[in-house]
C-alpha cells in the first residue's frame, strides 16, 4: 500500500522538525520501527543526534517503541559514519602524499639528468681544450 506521492529523499529536508511536535522524519520512522526508512534517512543525511523539545532522540523513540535493535543501529550510526569519513580522508591524504612523493622523485630524476649532462659537457669541453690524457681515466664495467 502506497500513501501519497513518493518524493526522492534528496529533495526533502531530512533534518527538518515537524512544527507541532518537533519530530524529524527519522524520529517518526524510528518510533514505528521502520528499519528501511531509517536506513534511507541516515544514508541521505538525517542527523541521529537531533533532539525533540523534550530531549528525545530517534534512538530514544525506537527504544520506547520496543525496537532495541533499531535503536542500536541509530546509536551506532554516527560512529559508522565517522569511521567511513576518516577512512575516506585517510585515503585522500595518502593519495595526496603519494602524489607529492612522485613529484619530488620526478624532479630529483630531472636534476640528476641535468647534472650528468653538465658534467659530461664540461668534460667534453675540457677534453677539447687540453689533452685528454691529463684527465683521470674512468673505466666502465
User: Which DSSP string corresponds to 96-123?
Assistant: HHHHHHHHHHHHHHHHHHHHHHHHHHHH
Q: Could you give the C-alpha distances from 113 to 102, 108, 116, in angstroms and in order?
A: 17, 9, 5
What does the alpha-carbon distance between residue 22 and residue 126 come to, in Å, rounded to a whole number? 87
pLDDT digits (tens, 9 = 90+) for 114-127: 999 998 888 777 77
Tell me the pLDDT tens digit for each residue of 81-103. 666 666 666 677 777 888 888 88
pTM of this prediction? Answer: 0.50
pLDDT for 1: 39
Of the CATH numbers 1.10.287.130, 3.20.20.70, 1.25.40.20, 3.20.20.80, which one belongs to the domain with range 9-134? 1.25.40.20
Amino acid at each position: 500500500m502506497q500513501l501519497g506521492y513518493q518524493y526522492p529523499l534528496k529533495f526533502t529536508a531530512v533534518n527538518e522538525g515537524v512544527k507541532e511536535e518537533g519530530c524529524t522524519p527519522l524520529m517518526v520512522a524510528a518510533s514505528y520501527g521502520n528499519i528501511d526508512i531509517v536506513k534511507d534517512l541516515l544514508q541521505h543525511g538525517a542527523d541521529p543526534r537531533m533532539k525533540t523539545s523534550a530531549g528525545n532522540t530517534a534512538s530514544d523513540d525506537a527504544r520506547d517503541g520496543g525496537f532495541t535493535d533499531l535503536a542500536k543501529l541509530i546509536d551506532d550510526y554516527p560512529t559508522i559514519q565517522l569511521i567511513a569519513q576518516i577512512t575516506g580522508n585517510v585515503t585522500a591524504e595518502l593519495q595526496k602524499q603519494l602524489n607529492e612523493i612522485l613529484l619530488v622523485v620526478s624532479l630529483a630524476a630531472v636534476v640528476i639528468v641535468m647534472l650528468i649532462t653538465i658534467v659530461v659537457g664540461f668534460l667534453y669541453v675540457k677534453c677539447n681544450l687540453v689533452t685528454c690524457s691529463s684527465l683521470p681515466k674512468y673505466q666502465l664495467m
